[in-house]
A and B are shown apart, each in its own frame.
Chain A
Amino acid sequence: MSAKDNFIKVKHLYNRAGFGISYADLQKLSKKNLTKVVDNLLKDSQKNDPINLVNDYESRRQLLVQAGLYSKKELTDEEKKMRQEIIREQNEVSRDLNIAFITKMINTDAPLKEKMTLFWHGHFACRSNNPFFAQQLNNIQRTNALGSFKTLLVEVSKSPAMLQYLNNQQNRKGKPNENFARELMELFTLGRGNYTEQDIKESARSFTGWMYDKDGSFIFRQNLHDTGTKTFFGKIGNFEGENIIDIILEKPETAQFIARKVYKFFVNDNPNEDHIKELATHFYNSKYDIASMMKKLFISDWFYSPENVGTKIKSPAEFLVGLSREFYVTYNKPQVLIQLQSSLGQYLFNPPNVAGWPGGQSWIDSSSLMLRMRIPSLVLNDGEIDFSGKADPEDEAVIALSRTATTKANADMKAKSYVNANANWPKFLNTLPKGLTPLALTEFLLQPKLNDKITTMVSDNKGLRSTAVEITSMPEYQLC
């Protein structure tokens, strides 16, 4: 294999398995055997590196206070204030958690691990007002990102965030709530059409009593659990939640469902049934070892075939993280990253619903594309922001409290704001080999093949910095 060939492959690998690569690293890695590069990516991901932003002790204290207030019929003014203060703090910490996640993706030296975490973040989509719960779920997804899918699934199912989001707190003997059981099969494992309504009803009974207690720890409440006999996929027994998960994993449809989703996320929006089957069989035979499936994917010849290179639309997270990593951007007001996520349609920790972000072409409409094309100049050239975005529906209560009827009008006329970020140009330029031409830089920064128009546009040699801003503003830069 020629060095040039390997250069292109490693670049593709890092675009999909991570968030891009620096020129210097790319040069170094293209001298290595591709399988070795993949192994190293996996090895880099072995270290456990959770987010520890939310204070465990303080959060548990708040939960107890909240539980106490919740059980009261009438609240004193003092207590009302206390409740509001907790909500305000939680909202603030939730924003910090969002920034912590995206910053981690920007700075990580285990890019595959964060990329996989982002994948599970969308697969096990969940919203929680409680940042402690949200952080816990995010860390479960990170710790098990490349581990056993079974462990991941069980831990997600026991996480307070998910128990709350899918109403398993209300799922009790005699009064089953089917929400969790339904989404477990429809969205997390088997996919629509591979189970019956009866399977949902019966498995919901098995998950009765799976709850979290006042201080936010998982608890199995035996007295609320339905110990009766259940019939699930033709099997009859006194199944508990874990048994249900085991039976679901015995079905090859689960491996196929996950493999398909992985394929669409890492390879191509248009599924290739042969390749998916290959992945699914491997995943199933490896007893749901995620790392093993990912390795299989990244060393497959088809992963590097032209129809899979430079043809995927970057998600807003991939776009923002990739740009920030490439140019070593620091954000002086990191809150702007939330504004950008929300305006681009992927507000992390706030998926549209339990089905996650639909992805692919749905990321792009006229306004999101215009904004994507402007962001590089806003971030790299400190341009002016002239959009304000929409409020997230869950933030309405805060809006209702914090603003008068006229503030919206005022906000529309507010002073111009800037992204207020710094790209580290010297560092970026240092990673490039001496004498690199703008055309070669373009070939490096863009994943799709260059056409005449782009070649002509960058040939007037306006310098590497201007060329970089120009290229990253192109529609071609939206693809990876």
Chain B
Amino acid sequence: MNRRNFLRNTGFVAAGSLFVPAFMKPLEAMALDELSLYKNLVVVQLSGGNDGLNTVIPFGNDIYYQKRNSIAIKPEEVIKLNNMQGLNPNMAALQEIYDQGWMTIINDVGYPNPDRSHFRSMDIWQTGSDSNQFLSTGWIGRYLDSNCQTCKFPYTAIEVDDSLSLAMKGQTKKGIALKDPATLFRNTNDPFFKAMLQNDKEHLDEDNLGYLYKTMIETSSSANYIQNTSKIYQSKSTYPASGFANQLKTVSKFISSGLKTRVYYVSLSGFDTHVNQTGQQGNLLKQYSEGMAAFLKDLKSNNKLEDTLVITFSEFGRRVEQNASNGTDHGTANNMFVFGGKLKKQGIFNAAPNLSDLDTGDLKYQLDFRQVYGTILDKWLDVNNADILNKKFNTLDFI
């Protein structure tokens, strides 16, 4: 007996063809030439609060070495980018990417009245709210809600994971979470699932039941589309063996096979390094950098790098001074990375963190993270950022 079936033990026979209502139809019938103009955004979330100061190291500043006597990265080990900042040695894989001009580092990104709770600060980053405001929709979710020209499909936003992050949930539209397109395809093509969808026009206008059926239909339609579009594609690139690299490999497969998805979301967790930080963070940064380098080169070889923008964020940085356990505690402003083949400003975007002007031991932010979101919404996803972020944010010129 196949345990993977929706219902074990039930005597279901395969039902006929799947009912797809008219409003779902056009997606399979898109002309190929429309695809070439397609711009993708990939959001990479580092969960736990990555220590930005040991990621991009201000080796040119003595204060860094004074405040971090046991965990500072020695100047000779730093991969120097200019005479002030450089990368953690575990990020060697990104040097080539940086030298190609595919990487921008934005220093000191944060928000007013920062919150040091993981959950709350992640909530703020994912919803794009002020720190005293509670939103139940995410910034990408609201982009989906805006119903713009480029975001009308149920698979406009895909998270490569088992469950969907708040960032991807709008009021009326939500992204889709899947770790593996084949599994989702198998589940939505299960005889029971298909039988439930048969001839079910009558439910579509009912309130909550209609919403459930609409979600099922969209899931099923998306699963078919994603699987059928991407299954033939075989990547020629090799990726390191890590869960994170696997997520990126899946994203690359989707982008390279021409999926009309606009936003992808992946995450890597474990950055809450209060104790013995150096080894743990080093491992994670290595995993991150090697995965990213393989991903970006893969996209380049498929001529997709110019159509792709990747951003990396974490819910907060860490305090400037290390703690007594060779780790660091929750802080505030942090750096963000932007990758792509068409960056307007490459390299280091703005001044390095000012370590002598702190706010009770924490970095002061130079840029609001919603300026970064706003820039992407305006210039990359072609919507007015005020419609998504509830107020207008000035854009930056990294793209």
| Chain A interface residues (CB < 8 Å from chain B) | 73-75, 80, 84, 127, 182, 187, 269-270, 311-313, 342-343, 345, 350, 352-355, 358, 360-362, 364-370, 373-374, 377, 381-384, 386-394, 396-397, 399-401, 403-406, 408-409, 411-412, 448, 451, 453, 457, 460, 462, 465-466, 469-470, 473-476, 478-479
Among B196, B207, B208, find the residue whose CB has the most chain A CB atoms closer than 10 A: B208
A370–B208 touching, CB < 8 Å: no
16 of the cross-chain contacts (CB-CB < 8 Å) are: A187-B134, A343-B162, A358-B136, A362-B136, A365-B168, A365-B176, A368-B163, A369-B212, A369-B216, A369-B219, A370-B219, A386-B4, A390-B267, A391-B269, A400-B272, A475-B212
Tell me whether A366 and B215 are in contact (CB under 8 A): yes
Q: Is the CB of A381 within 8 A of B8?
A: yes
A367-B162, A399-B272 known; A353-B123 Cβ under 8 A: yes
Known: A353-B134, A386-B183. A365 touches B169 (CB 8 A): yes
* Chain A binder among B70-78, B187-195, B347-355, B376-384: B187-195
B177 touches A366 (CB 8 A): yes
- By the criterion CB–CB under 8 Å, are B198 and A399 in contact? no
Specify which of A391, A392, A393, A451 lies most central, judged by the most chain B CB atoms within 10 Å of its CB: A393
Q: By the criterion CB–CB under 8 Å, are A470 and B275 in contact?
A: no
Contact, CB under 8 Å: B8 / A374: no
Q: Is the CB of A373 within 8 A of B193?
A: yes
- Is B286's CB under 8 angstroms from A405's CB? yes
For the complex, count residues of B whose C-beta is within 8 A of A. 82
Which residue of chain A is the closest to B284 with respect to CB atoms?
Answer: A405
User: How many angstroms from the CA of A354 to the CA of B119 in the assembled complex?
Assistant: 11
A312 contacts B163, C-beta separation under 8 Å: no
Output the nearest chain A residue to B177 by Cβ-Cβ distance: A367
A384 touches B4 (CB 8 A): yes
Q: Is the beta-carbon distance between B7 and A470 smaller than 8 angstroms?
A: yes
- Residue pair A393, B209 in contact (C-beta under 8 Å): no
Asked if B120 is an interface residue, CB under 8 A from chain A, the answer is: yes
Across-interface contacts of B4 in A (CB, < 8 A): 384, 386
State the CA gap A404–B300 with chains docked (Å).
31
Residue numbers in A under 8 Å from B213 (CB-CB): 475
Contact B315 A393 (CB under 8 A): yes
The answer to whether A396 and B48 touch across the interface, beta carbons within 8 angstroms, is yes
Report the minimum CB–CB distance from A125 to chain B (whole Å).
10
Check if B192 sits within 8 Å of A370, measured CB to CB.
Answer: no
Query: How far, in whole Å, are A409 and B287 apart by their CA atoms in the complex?
Result: 11
The 8 A CB mask of B257-296 against A (1 = contact, 0 = none) is 0000000000111111111000010011011000000000
Which residues of the other chain, A, contact B136 by a CB distance below 8 angstroms? 355, 358, 362
The residues of B that contact A369 with a CB separation of less than 8 Å are 212, 215-216, 219
A205 to chain B, nearest CB (A): 18
A453 neighbours in B (Cβ, 8 Å): 198-200
**Structural contact, B10 and A366, CB atoms closer than 8 A:** no
Give, as a whole number of angstroms, the nearest-CB distance from A172 to chain B: 17
* Complex CA distance for A73 and B323, rounded to whole angstroms: 10
Among B6, B176, B196, B202, point to the contact of A366 (Cβ < 8 A).
B176
The residue in chain A whose Cβ has the minimal distance to the Cβ of B155 is: A366
5 A-B pairs closest in CB distance:
A405-B283, A396-B48, A396-B272, A393-B118, A358-B136
Q: Is B218 interfacial (CB 8 A cutoff)?
A: yes
Whether B222 is near chain A, meaning CB under 8 Å from some CB there, is: yes
A260 CB to nearest B CB, Å: 16
B243 within 8 A of A: yes
Query: Complex Cα distance A466/B164, Å?
Result: 31
Judging by beta carbons under 8 Å apart, are B119 and A127 in contact?
A: yes
* B161 within 8 A of partner (CB): yes
Q: Which of A182, A353, A460 has the most CB of B within 10 A?
A: A353
Contact A409 B202 (CB under 8 A): no
Q: Which of A365, A408, A412 contacts B164 (CB 8 A)?
A: A365
Q: Please determine whether B122 and A393 come into contact, CB atoms closer than 8 angstroms.
A: yes
Q: Distance (Å) between the CB of A186 and the closest chain B CB?
A: 9
Known: A366-B218, A370-B219. Contact between A397 and B174, CB under 8 A? Answer: no
Is A448 touching B325 in the complex (CB atoms < 8 A)? no
Give residues of chain B (122-148) contacting chain A, Cβ–Cβ below 8 Å.
122-123, 132, 134, 136
B3 CB–A CB distance under 8 Å: yes
A365-B175, A393-B315, A469-B7 known; A475 and B162 CB under 8 Å? no
Q: Is B388 an interface residue (CB 8 A)?
A: no
For A367, give its contact among B11, B118, B120, B163 (CB under 8 Å): B163
- A478 and B48 within 8 A (CB): no
Select B283's contact among A74, A404, A462, beta carbons within 8 Å. A404
- Say yes or no for B166: interface residue by CB 8 A criterion: yes
Asked if residues B48 and A412 are in contact (CB atoms below 8 Å), the reply is: no
**In the complex, which residues of chain A have a beta carbon less than 8 angstroms from the beta carbon of B198?**
453
Structural contact, B183 and A400, CB atoms closer than 8 A: no
B47 contacts the other chain (CB 8 A): yes
Q: How far is the CB of B31 from chain A (nearest CB, A)?
A: 26
A409 touches B243 (CB 8 A): yes
Interchain CB contact under 8 A, B49 and A396:
yes
With CB as the reference atom, state the residue of chain A lying closest to B220.
Answer: A366
Q: A365-B169, A393-B118 are in contact. Are A406 and B8 (CB under 8 A)?
A: no
Q: Are B10 and A370 touching (Cβ within 8 A)? A: no
